[in-house]
Structure 1
């Protein structure tokens, strides 16, 4: 299991490898300097929206940020990775316990997450979260309430699901007397190709 300290050490390594200061990464990601510092020191487990924003700031996919290595076999014919019970990278936050599955694939177009929902009310959850991409969630056990920025709350029971735009503020809270279990698939935010208007001369 990946701890907050493990993830923090990896984030610091990736930031320094790109010769970025804390303020530089904060500017690129939109995550506060103090928050990045806490994550790097293992004092804070980042929520999914912060993981995605930090990955985008580092010009990485989420798999490259939380995975075991930056490189991998990206041949289309090699993308066949079973995930066994207990596999994945676990990050325990205030509201959710995330288990990122198939994390060894670093350039996935979607992020599969098995999660346990800890918050039992929107007041306990706090501010709605938002990040790039879209997501699909299905309730595997228990009952949840989906709160969002633009729609009335929706209650989902076991076997029921929802699809939403992740750039809209949203929160999942458990509606029963125990933590709910869900499976979620998030798409990576669309990455904009960075090209210069004037291409440099090519050799030859």
Structure 2
């Protein structure tokens, strides 16, 4: 495809461009990506040029080889602002089981970011579940996280990742200034 000309098959071209960009960022050749994904390099070349319609299985293999999610490959390019600052007074604030959650505004299809603080050290009465992956990063202090009955203590700078479908709850283990960032994809 020549630069500046519109695509006749936008989806395949967008997917191919993302695959090419990620492959190059990782210093991989088409043959190298093919080895990692278990796909032929001529097929991958066609994918990158928007000439092939890969199956879901092929896209999953390409994503795994590039160490990204399938959604990352299929997501449309971001629209709007390239850079966005979220100020400390922005975002909806809600009390949730003795903790304060502030949802940080973002793109509709982007991961959900929430700032978590707790007033006390009690466990919430009920565990939560949510679709997708959950990552909890402790910015200050320490917290305890119960994921499906397995207890993990996280200190400042630690991150815990798990499947959000597993029942989970958290409580403050450190001082009153304990703060965590919860990312749900």
Q: Taking structure 1 as the reference length, what is the TM-score of the superposition?
A: 0.48
2:79 to 77, 80, 100: 77
Residue 108 of structure 1, CA deviation: 2.5
> What are the ranges of 5 or more consecutive residues in structure 1 without an aligned counterpart?
1-73, 188-204
Deviation at 1:93, TM superposition (A): 2.3
Compared with structure 1, are the counterparts of its residues 128 and 86 closer, same or farther at alpha carbon in structure 2 (3 Å cutoff)? same
Q: C-alpha displacement at 1:96, in angstroms?
A: 1.9
Alignment equivalent of 2:179, drawn from 178, 181, 188: 181
Post-superposition, which runs of at least 4 consecutive aligned residues in structure 1 deviate over 6 A? none
Change (3 A) 1:118 1:166: farther
Which one has the largest radius of gyration? 2
In the alignment, the residues of structure 1 paired with residue 151 and residue 144 of structure 2 have an alpha-carbon distance, to the nearest angstrom, of: 6
In 2, the alpha carbon distance for the partners of 1:120 and 1:179 equals 12
Aligned equivalent of 2:154: 156
Superposition deviation, residue 97 in structure 1: 0.7
Conservation of the 8 A alpha-carbon contact between 2:118 and 2:176: no
What is the alpha-carbon distance in structure 2 between the residues aligned to residue 162 and residue 142 of structure 1?
15
What's the C-alpha RMSD, in Å, of the aligned pairs?
Answer: 2.1
Q: Describe the SS at the equivalent of 2:129.
A: coil
Question: Could you say if the C-alpha distance between residues 84 and 179 of structure 1 is closer, same or farther in structure 2, counting changes exceeding 3 Å?
Answer: closer
User: What secondary structure sits across from 2:79 in the alignment?
Assistant: helix
Q: TM-score, normalised by structure 2?
A: 0.52
Distance 2:171 2:88 in 1: 24
| Equivalent residue number for residue 70 of structure 1 | none
Deviation sequence 1:144-196 (CA, Å, 0-9, x none): 1111115x211111111110111000011111342521011111xxxxxxxxx
Structure 1 CA distance for aligned equivalents of residues 183 and 104 of structure 2: 10
Q: What residue is the counterpart of 2:90 in the other structure?
A: 87
Aligned to 1:102, which of 99, 102, 105?
105
Consecutive unaligned residues in structure 2, runs of 5 or more: 1-75
Contact preservation (8 Å) 2:97, 2:125: no
Q: In the comparison of the two structures, how many residue pairs are matched?
A: 109
* Structure 1 contact 82–102 (Cα < 8 Å) conserved: no
Contact 1:117 1:182 (8 Å CA) reproduced: no
Cα distance per residue 1:85-137 (max 9 Å; x no partner): 2221111223321111125x3x2231011121334133xx2121112111111
